[in-house]
Structure 1
């Protein structure tokens, strides 16, 4: 409601919707007025800004602000200064310079005080305060606007919103005064009279004056000019007010009006609820149910929960408990779990269940106490629920359980001797029932009275877990430390170490968490794989988070070895991060491979995958490089991946034998490549892929396109090599020789990759051409220049 009102206040001030005052035309040869020129220039720019949009509009408003600011500096006493201050404020507001705008409007108010520009400034400042929920400041300025406004509509607006501001401040008296002012204004153009009537009526009704309020509401309901929506709101208020006055027939008439009148649909659910409530107050429970069942109307959220609650209680009052229970359950689902209405609904549902199936109420009571026991511990309904449980247990002959239930209600009646054992039993039972506060009280009494008892370690461990559940971590940690220091029970020690570590994790004390887990692992207290894996994983996690990743590797590895289903993914992700931080590509590359196989590579950060892909490529592990680049590339949206990713994905696929896949990636890279050198490189790869796919003609075309770009160095050599490969594949050995010999003759001998490969291909071509002498000569040169080079294994 407040937000809608705030939005309404953002509308421009009506009094300035028309043009600003115009100067009287004069002969410019007779009168020179630089101040008027400045003002008119600023106004022209301002008007242009109003007609513009986007950045142009912002720029024009900024320029207008500069002009008016300069005008006011140079001509502060000019006749248009008042208007200029307003235009300056509006220009600043329009460019987001709120503080400057406010200063301009305050200056306008302080210097000129009255008039439509001052009224407009007061309204704008008031609206700003209102929208920022500064209702006190807003009220004062709305009152100022009302006092100095020159137009009746502006004066009424000021009074109305001053009233709303006071209402939101909880100050009914000044709010009523302003609403009354609006109501008493007989101006035919008074558009705020109806709103004021509704608001004034609600305020005086809240103060107990239902009769006058009803008269106001009836005036709006019976209006011939108001919209059905507005009349519907008034009818709803009239119906509720009439019921307060005991005029139930009138109340019913107004609610029925809402239910049958088009345009009043928004109020119909509330009208139905009000009708049901009125009948419920009169104890006409069957009529409540009749209204509920005869309508198809439903509400949402809190509104629907109120409707269902009335119907359910009416069913319950008629002893129709089976009909009431599902409605109470619906209320619980609609309400926040710890709200008052959810608690009431849960209690009434439990009571219905008790009435129907008294001997089976135990589980229902336990659930009720667990959910509401802490917040509503002093509520009589809660004690009634405990009584239900005690009585049911006693009726079933479960004496010990019944005793525990009764002691929940009143334990002071127990003898000191019996209280000791029963406090221990009750504490453990309440903990299992999730009533942690009561468990803590019972266990504390036991521990304090019996520090040397053999059960004290168990009591400490249980109380520690209860503290953990209630968020009292420091107390829980103290209990677990006491167990670790005093107990030799392996199961209790396991619990204490693991829960102590969990507390440290929650509190962000990671080094202490790691210490607890490491001590647990060193003590070898259990063979439970879940406990061991948990300790290993969180030790590794803590070491990674505390910048000790190298020490985490063994723990994380063991965690997924012991419990692979649970920790394969999470341990693997952490190991990837560790290996990346250490720049350990030998470990990272297979770890990323495991992530792919395990289906969790999507959770790896893209920079990590990119680095692993680059490392795999540089180490000529092209199969993994292709797999890794493929994680980054998106075939459906190729433009989302960097072109470098597509480029190297193509190369990796090409080198790993996937020519078809390589061609797809290479084409994606070429679509956005603008650099001639890289484009030529991509065309060389494209030609190689096409050749492997048996598409010699298309491969030749790619080579020619690449060579046309005049590439230098390796790229040019690579294109000639592919050209030679095409000729050789077509049994044109002599042409292949001419293609291969170019990189052999032109490339520097320092090149250890392409040139020896060119030698190798040239030798094969010469042999195919029958020129064994030259082939032998080049083979000798290859061996001499590159003694350690070996031909690639295709």
Structure 2
């Protein structure tokens, strides 16, 4: 940083500027010279003015200005004219006629060019330009002073301040030339040497010539003539340069020298800051904080204090002590102008700490930061990193579309390698969730192509594979899934890769590959998630059914239903019913159709399947299920839509399962359309039995009589007589009942295992009721002999 000096020593006043020696008086008796007398008169007035004060002094200087002006006008070539120009210029300065004074000094330089008066004029003009920050003009005149000075001290002064002027013009090469001239000057008692060494050392250090610079700084520190303040500046520079050279112990010694040496107070805050910077460079963050807290009096002001606090805050942040860093960053923002680089950096680091500590309200903080700095620092990586924080926060909150919009605003080239990797990875995942599959593929591909060893690679491939799948790029998707399956041990990712690869095969109609994929997944046992296992099991079973291996499908379908009943009860059940029908497996089909009824999806079963299951249930004597199954086909509101056989067996099933009222409805529908005499007689037998169970004896009798009138034979005639006997028993007419029951017993073939044993049983009961015990015992013996396993 350039150091702007306040050069009071250069102020163009008579007490400071270079004075020529006093003129030696001459003997007026020997020489008659009116011009000399007038010049001497002016000198006397000038000297009186120097001794006076207030208005008297101004009046005397003004009088001297008139005298010297008249003298020069009247004696332009006198031997004292050169000196008169100098005295005129000084008198003009002291009376406030600055422009006239400058003209006088310039006239002196132009007319005489060198000598002690020219040197004094050059110095005075240079000082005036320097104090008015006209460093280009000042540098030229200081160089002039150095070239014409008659005294060594003026020569050294000219070189030094020419160097200082060039330095303030950022012309370090020219400045270095003059500083080096001062340093190399052999003049004893060179009072400018250490000052030049300090300034030249700074130029060398800025040019990374640190070893040469350090030698000069050390010379100044060890000086016996320089002030403690100047030595403190040199010690500060020496400490910083030592740190740049990696000589941290020496650096520490110089900073400690400043902290303990009286007179170096102005450098203490900077020394502490430099010590902190040295430790920060060495990543000794805890020591940075110890220095910061160990010297509470070494505080600076403005920019210097902001730098000190910035180092401490960053050290806290590096130690993950973000809460302690936050207030320091806020203080830096307060000390710095709002648009400054350090205020911007502090605001960013404060935002980063807040992001780490708070988590909540990050969006508001980022928006405020972007509003304040986004336009001026739009190309700075910190702006894009802040957007990255916002996007990640939105993504973590499930606001995928909002997050995707912010991700699209981020220029990845502006981020660090680490953050760029994070951007491509997170942005890809977010865009996938937001439905921007092409964008997800692009971002994840950038991540995958440049991060072959990143632990997030498997997740990136999985997500990209899913994005490829959504865009129909099945080959690319399968390649990603295959890579995940062969390289990852993440069970969740393996699950996704297996299942999504199988989904692609299913979508492409490659059912055998689909089944194989699901089977590989189930065999790998990469997850215990019941939903995933159920899904794989169901679709493996489904695929086996579709590819002609229904027998192998049952275990998969059963597993799917047991693990996820809400999802697969229906779909697995329907498939299993079809398989059991194909296998003619009534033992499994009948309960499966029952589950379909209970699950409310039996309506989706094909009618032939239901009919076959109903028939098998009926034939097996499972009348309750038979009734339930037939009922799925029959429609009481539209009875003509169901075959009469369905109504017939529905009536029989209901009758035998204890639902005479329901049976009667079905029987009547069947009889309404039945024309075959034998089947009508059969139906009338069932109607009579139902009416009897409902207690409607007259209607039961009517049905039986109507049926018998059709002269049926075989089992139908036997059934009618059994119902007729049941009616007589209900009317407590056992004798008539015996005559009804005896007919099927005597006339039916013994091979009948259903009606005839029942006829025997009913006959025995009627005989007992009629008091014919001997006959009853006789028939009991026959029943036991012919049908030993039969039970009523």
- When the two structures are superposed, what TM-score results if normalisation uses the length of structure 1? 0.50
